[in-house]
Amino acid sequence: MRTCTQPTSTVELLAAHLHTAAEHGRRAANSGAVCRHIPALAGVPSTGFAMAVAGVDGSLLHTGDSDHPFSIQSLSKLFALCALLRHDREAWNDVGWDPTTSGYGSVADLERNHGRPTNPFVNSGAIVVTDRLITHSGDAVASTIGLLRNADARAAVDSDIDVARSESSTGHRNSAIAHVLAEHGYLENPIDVVLQQYFSQCAITASVKTLATAALFLADRSGPSAILDEASVRRVNAVLLTSGMYGAAGDIAYRIGLPSKSGIGGGVLAVMPGKGTVCVWSPPLDAVGNSAGGVAAIDEFARLARWSVF
């Protein structure tokens, strides 16, 4: 006979989906490899795993190392962009919004475009975002951390100085990008200041719980958010869908159908407008540079919960 252990409420059902999806993600993580691009990140344990689902109804479900602050890397580009849009809604004109297949660190793409970035999620666009945030607030890292703490002022969010230094000593490509931007007149602040802030911004650490709840303003359709105006939220989600997952954005849109952003620290964050957000941390990356376990877990969760913007 069946006992009454079947999930009943929506939250219980989502919790069951979360656990199934997490198991799926943990298995898929075995196919990836931890990023060696930043030396200080090479020692991150490949078995680390965490997943959180935040609902616009205030629910927060999680599993694994969900309080562990990990290196958010390119996930910071999303929060820095939103922090900038709070100062200047038209900042898009400086960073672009078009997809590219040239890779997130392409200097050639930048040269072809006469120094204008293609979108805010490739490194050139993100470096311009950091530059403009310095102009508006004086401190791009503090502004980004401030936005990450919007849902919880006491959340453990910091910038890891060892990771920032490690990238600073090996970040020749980003340095080249900054010089090309400056050559074409796209930077307002000194190159060294912008790069130091950019590396420190990428070195921010936060947990999946913090990231999922901090990003809820991108999912909330109940009216103008206190964080960002509605038009900006729509634009950010659109560009996340077309450009948030490196060279796999089209594949992720086709397979999962959620605006998503990933980082080489193994984090992936996806937004389901009107419902909530899901964030996974699993360090091993696939061939494109996305977290293998993170993408698999979000894919499975989205399928089970029927989350898709389409």
Q: Please state the φ and ψ torsions of residue 2, each to the nearest 5 degrees.
A: -80, 130
Nearest residue (CB) to ligand GLU, 174 versus 277: 174
Q: Radius of gyration over alpha carbons of the chain, in Å? A: 18
264 binds ligand GLU (CB under 6 A): yes
Q: Give CA–CA dist 224/81, Å, rounded.
A: 18
Spell out, one character per residue from 149 to 188, where the chain touches ligand GLU: x when CB under 6 A holds, - when not: ------------------x------x--------------
Among the listed residues 263, 283, 284, 294, the single contact to ligand GLU using CB under 6 A: 263
* Backbone φ/ψ region at 268: left (φ over 0), alpha (ψ -120 to 50), beta: beta
- 254 annotated ligand binder: no
Residues numbered 217-246 forming contacts with ligand GLU, rule: CB under 6 A = none
- 169 annotated ligand binder: no
Answer for the pair 31, 284: CB distance below 8 angstroms, yes or no.
Answer: yes
Nearest residue (CB) to ligand GLU, 92 versus 198: 198
DSSP state of 33: B
List alpha helices for the chain, DSSP H.
10-28, 75-87, 92-95, 107-112, 123-137, 140-148, 161-170, 172-183, 191-202, 208-214, 230-243, 249-255, 292-305
Q: Least CB distance from residue 267 to ligand GLU, whole Å?
A: 9
* Nearest Cα residue to 120 out of 82, 89, 148: 82
- 9 annotated ligand binder: no
Residues numbered 186-205 forming contacts with ligand GLU, rule: CB under 6 A = 202
Answer for the pair 265, 44: CB distance below 8 angstroms, yes or no.
Answer: yes
CB environment 158-195: b (16+ within 10 A), e (fewer): ebbeebbbbbbeebeebbebbebbbeeebbebeeeebb
Q: CA angle at residue 50 from 44 to 52, to 5 degrees?
A: 145
Q: Give CA–CA dist 198/182, Å, rounded.
A: 15
Nearest residue (CB) to ligand GLU, 261 versus 275: 261
- 186 annotated ligand binder: no
Residues numbered 97-126 forming contacts with ligand GLU, rule: CB under 6 A = 104-105, 123
Q: Least CB distance from residue 264 to ligand GLU, whole Å?
A: 4
- 174 annotated ligand binder: yes
Nearest residue (CB) to ligand GLU, 169 versus 308: 169
Amino acid at 202: C
Q: Least CB distance from residue 103 to ligand GLU, whole Å?
A: 10
Nearest residue (CB) to ligand GLU, 104 versus 281: 104
Q: Least CB distance from residue 3 to ligand GLU, whole Å?
A: 46
- 59 annotated ligand binder: no
282 binds ligand GLU (CB under 6 A): no
**Strand extents, DSSP E, 105-262:** 158-159, 204-206, 260-262
291 binds ligand GLU (CB under 6 A): no
* Nearest Cα residue to 120 out of 88, 102, 95: 95
Nearest residue (CB) to ligand GLU, 49 versus 70: 70
Among the listed residues 21, 25, 70, 73, the single contact to ligand GLU using CB under 6 A: 73
Binding residues: 74, 123, 167, 174, 198, 246
By the criterion CB under 6 A, which residues form the site for ligand GLU?
73-74, 104-105, 123, 167, 174, 202, 263-264
